[in-house]
């Protein structure tokens, strides 16, 4: 997949942030780690992982 547009990068970051909200936020909620807001932490982790994947994948191809 070739990403050559800012809109595509933003779309992927939003998609990974939403996945982080769903997956990591639910995991932190189930584990009762409510010191910080679980969905906010999940969104941050998802966005960071998405950005890292966007930057790392072109290196492998």
CA dihedral 42, 47, 50, 52 (to 10 degrees): -110
Mean pLDDT of 8-29: 78
The pTM assigned to this predicted structure is 0.63
Judge contact between 41 and 27, C-beta under 8 A. no
Number of domains in the chain: 1
Tokens of 24: 């990591």
In a domain, 11, yes or no: yes
Q: Which domain holds residue 49?
A: 6-56
In a domain, 61, yes or no: no
pLDDT in tens, 32-61: 777 777 777 777 887 888 778 777 766 655
């Amino acid at each position: 997949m070739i990403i050559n547009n800012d809109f595509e990068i933003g779309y992927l970051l939003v998609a990974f942030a939403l996945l982080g909200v769903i997956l990591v936020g639910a995991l932190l909620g189930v584990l009762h780690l409510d010191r910080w807001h679980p969905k906010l932490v999940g969104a941050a982790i998802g966005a960071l992982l998405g950005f890292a994947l966007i930057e790392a994948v072109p290196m492998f191809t």
